Structure 1
Amino acid sequence: MRMGDWLDRELGSRRVWLCFLLATFAYVLPLILADYPYIDDNWRSLAAGMGWSGEGRLFTQLFYNWLTFTGAAPNIFPLPLLIATLAMAWALTRLTFHYFAEPTFTHCLVVLAFWYNPFFLQNLSYQYDGPAMALSLVAVIFAITFRSVSRVQQLVVPALLIALGLGLYQVSINVFVGLCCVELLRCANDRLPWLEWGRMIGWKVAQTGLAWLIYGATAYAYMSPNRTLLLNGSAAPWQQLGTNFSRVLEKVMLLFHGGFGWVFAALLLCAVAGSVRVGQHILERQETGLRKALIGVLCLLVVPVIVLLVPGAALFFRDFNEGARTLMGFSVLLVLLFYLSHLALAAVHQRLPLLLLIPLLAMLSLSFAYGRVLMVQKTFANNALNALSYDIASRPALRDAKRIYMSVTYSDHWLVGAAGSFKQLPVLRYLLNTDYYMLAENLPKAGITNVMAERERRNATRVGYQGFVPLVDSQYYRIYLLGDYGFIVMKEPKPVAELQW
């Protein structure tokens, strides 16, 4: 069979699943090879700790209990990520056949954009939380694609799946609502009858409402109250929302740098052309003018709603988190852009949608670049651990101190080895998000157990002990000893001039 025939032919479910399996595994391979414990992974692996139930993520806790056959969470990476990747390949296969009755290779590219969300790399960096976050997406995809002739099953099963996704990671609700918006656009393009259109919206609303009730009666009941605080209604909430969204937009724009900007600009132009075709299909519907207008308005609203769902519900919480791991809604925005672009390109020539490989390859390239940055960070962290543990263990006064407090100093200049990558791909620094020298919970790995992070002292170390003579004065830190207590003060790293070789 010629290569061209394979590209044009309809693919069966087995071939589609195999395509997704290879593509999804390629995206996580750099993270598996790096094998870098990311932030929370350090204390979780040290104590086989959990703590997810207090965050409203009871099902993540149960997932690790069941997977490790224990009442805790021993580190078994990369097994959870491999399981999540297999599940995601299955879910993307279901989504492909849900969107396209006779899928070809180019249709798979549209759905693959969901997994190739560059910001999701930060989610997957967590060896513990990453697989659970991926499984939350699997749950909402199955909720979207589930179909049954039984009305009870059509209501209850998706609601259970949505509640499962919420109990694994609450941000997945942004993805579910976003996929519902894509459903509206897809049904309009496929000329779904008016009554079917309204029925579909009603089902989604009912499923979401029941899912929140199930989640409220299960995982939400274990959540600590301070995690549910919303924006202060008496302190200009709309201004707070605008500020939060502008901060997210600033971070998202880091992705569109250099060649990435041109690639996504071309993708956006193709999507605009695809939206024109959707508009033409709406005008060709055998409906009244009012119904056509209503469908058109709803389709127009899909775009701003999906854009808002990139950060989504996180915008409304008082403890706003602008980290990349909260931008799971960007996956739906990519699917929308790829879906509309496919409509436009396929109208010109059936093989022209193969151009969608270009943005996918760009995002896969970013994944491998990020994996190399993680390797550099791992080397730097290991060297930092060796240096600091040696300075403490080799001095009896520090080794026997009752407590050593470590100050927290954040900077963008710790990781000099990745400066070139950060300059060419600024989004990598945002994804890495490890702007510190050392975490106190890393030191027990080297047998040092008397060091703790300075939290309640609010960096009093940096202010109160600078006048004393340090016991240790190294390149990155000073260690002071006052009585039985030590104090580690990080030096502010200085920007390094661009290296010339």
Structure 2
Amino acid sequence: MGRFSDFFSKELGRRQVWLFFLLATFVYVVPLILADYPYIDDNWRSLSAGTAWAGQGRLFTELFYNLLTFSNAAPNIFPLPLLIATLAMAAALTSLTFHYYPQPTIACCLVLLPLWYNPFFLQNLSYQYDGPAMALSLVAVIYAITFHHPSRILQWLVPSFLVALAIGLYQVTFNVFIGLCCLEVLRGANDKLAWPKWCELIGWKIAQAFLGCLIYAVSAYPFTQQNRTLLLNWTAEPLLQLHVNIARVLEKVVLLFHGGFAWVFAALLLCAFAGVVRLGLNVVARQDSTANKMLIGLICVLALPVVTLLVSGMALFFRDFNEGARTLMGFAVLLVLLFYLSHLALARIHERLPLLLMVPLLAMLSLSYAYGRVLTVQKTFASSALLSLEHDIASNRQLREAKRIYMSVTYSDHWLLGAAGSFKQMPVLHYLLNIDFFMLAENLPKVGITNVVAEQERLNATRVGYQGYPPVLETLYYRIYLLGDYGFIVMKEPAPIKALHW
């Protein structure tokens, strides 16, 4: 028993830390691998082995799949990319752990794990194509932080290229880099880094971020479609637009703090506040002039709200604002900040108290498995819906031979009745799933139906102009109309989920 207890407090070697992170990162993605659910964009990508990332400013994602599949396209090879990304993440977290703690224990490893155990990152990892590239983008950012070399040129260039690589894989990861830079500033202040060194640290990070953006601007950015780069309209109350965007993000983040999660994170916040006090005392105890200590204290205080704003970060400033969970990668850095400050406070009381950080990590791990089950339910529902449509179209000669069948797009929160209980107990699961449609037209070629297309140009004309005609076929979820050589699939609005009583 004593030997087992010592394991949690003894210093770990690099190989032991890597094995810990390898196990921890893999356990987190097991539910997604087992679910094996093609998530939204995965459907059309796997159908055509399509890429189209360069136009989204993600040229390096396209090159990654070209290299990995030895082709000019992107055949579906899931879960290989995710396994590669998981291995890379374990190595990156090992590097970051030794960067933060030269003599790490298990508790030190727990501080950095939220970079992977970010609940909102589950949506990123749901994409069988995009998810691994987003994870590798995070890996590049971490190595940009941990890279050290005696050569000043390499110390400037290598992290900058890594930042450019990260942005070219997934632009939102830039928020993570800036957030980790803020943590570097806080850590330098807490470790009583000499004033010139501390100022130099800030200068280096600003230079690396600037050069990284510059390299991205001349490499991947020129391939980006212009409609994806439009910023807020600065002539139409931009501050109000920012306020609305921030409110929408806050509304989504609050979904996580439900039931037991609220209590767990409240306790974490309390410990982090104690850590802030501890950090403040360390700043006061520095052997520096009063002016220097005040400036360091001010910058540290400002770093806290900056990290909070970086939860969504740069996404807030785009006209086409995306409030999806996959854009909230900055939440991982906020968690690491809370864990780091909590570790400061708890380690001061007793060396084993920081092991309490396992509790919020276990909460996030349980959320991952709950989400995996929801994906499985969604997969079952989608499969049954697909087979139902395939049977109805294939068994009707007129529909089977129609030149084209338009599928109307009907959004609703009530399609997935099978996960009603999970959605009620963990509201964030519905936000993570982000599927509010019955079926995608891209799915039908999987079962041999090739004449169905999503209704876009017609702007859901079927729901308005053809309702007066008798349907050729009607089921629980949809009606199918036929006018000449053209068919129209009109989804029914599903009934709201009722309270479950057994």
**CA offsets per residue over residues 414-440 of structure 1, 9 Å max, x none?**
000000000000000000000000000
> How far does residue 499 in structure 1 lie from its aligned partner after superposition?
2.4
Matched residue SS, 2:366? helix
Mapping of 1:411-450 within 5 angstroms?
411-450=412-451
Whole-Å separation in 1 of the counterparts to 2:137 and 2:411: 31
Q: Which amino acid aligns with 1:83?
A: I
Whole-Å separation in 1 of the counterparts to 2:207 and 2:352: 40
> How far does residue 39 in structure 1 lie from its aligned partner after superposition?
0.1
Whole-Å separation in 1 of the counterparts to 2:203 and 2:163: 16
Mapping of 1:200-219 within 5 angstroms?
200-219=201-220
Q: Which residue of 2 aligns with 1:140?
A: 141
Q: Which residue of 1 aligns with 2:32?
A: 31
Matched residue SS, 2:406? strand
Mapping of 1:358-397 within 5 angstroms?
358-397=359-398
Q: Which residue of 1 aligns with 2:295?
A: 294
**CA offsets per residue over residues 270-329 of structure 1, 9 Å max, x none?**
000001000000000011111111100100011110010000000000000000000000
Q: Which amino acid aligns with 1:474?
A: T
Mapping of 1:48-447 within 5 angstroms?
48-447=49-448
**CA offsets per residue over residues 250-275 of structure 1, 9 Å max, x none?**
00000000000000000000000001
Return 5+ residue gaps in structure 2 as ranges. Answer: none
Whole-Å separation in 2 of the counterparts to 1:53 and 1:104: 42
Whole-Å separation in 2 of the counterparts to 1:496 and 1:113: 33
Matched residue SS, 1:341? helix
Whole-Å separation in 1 of the counterparts to 2:408 and 2:27: 39
**CA offsets per residue over residues 33-65 of structure 1, 9 Å max, x none?**
000000000000000000000001000000000
Whole-Å separation in 2 of the counterparts to 1:113 and 1:405: 44
Whole-Å separation in 2 of the counterparts to 1:149 and 1:80: 34
Whole-Å separation in 1 of the counterparts to 2:442 and 2:7: 53
**TM-score of the superposition, structure 1-length normalised?**
1.00
Whole-Å separation in 2 of the counterparts to 1:133 and 1:380: 27
Whole-Å separation in 2 of the counterparts to 1:486 and 1:231: 40
Matched residue SS, 1:303? helix
Whole-Å separation in 2 of the counterparts to 1:36 and 1:496: 23
Whole-Å separation in 2 of the counterparts to 1:127 and 1:283: 49
Matched residue SS, 1:253? helix
Whole-Å separation in 2 of the counterparts to 1:207 and 1:300: 23
Whole-Å separation in 2 of the counterparts to 1:196 and 1:77: 45
RMSD value over aligned CA atoms?
0.6
Q: Which amino acid aligns with 2:275?
A: G
> How far does residue 496 in structure 1 lie from its aligned partner after superposition?
3.0
Q: Which residue of 2 aligns with 1:461?
A: 462
Q: Which amino acid aligns with 1:185?
A: L
Whole-Å separation in 1 of the counterparts to 2:250 and 2:304: 15
**CA offsets per residue over residues 211-231 of structure 1, 9 Å max, x none?**
111111111011011111000
1:472 aligns with 2:473: yes
Whole-Å separation in 1 of the counterparts to 2:241 and 2:458: 29
Matched residue SS, 2:115? coil
> How far does residue 101 in structure 1 lie from its aligned partner after superposition?
1.2
Whole-Å separation in 1 of the counterparts to 2:114 and 2:317: 27
> How far does residue 457 in structure 1 lie from its aligned partner after superposition?
1.1
Whole-Å separation in 2 of the counterparts to 1:254 and 1:456: 35
Whole-Å separation in 1 of the counterparts to 2:105 and 2:497: 50
Matched residue SS, 1:487? strand
Return 5+ residue gaps in structure 1 as ranges. Answer: none
Mapping of 1:8-47 within 5 angstroms?
8-47=9-48
Whole-Å separation in 1 of the counterparts to 2:239 and 2:409: 33
Q: Which amino acid aligns with 2:96?
A: L
Matched residue SS, 1:475? coil
> How far does residue 191 in structure 1 lie from its aligned partner after superposition?
0.3
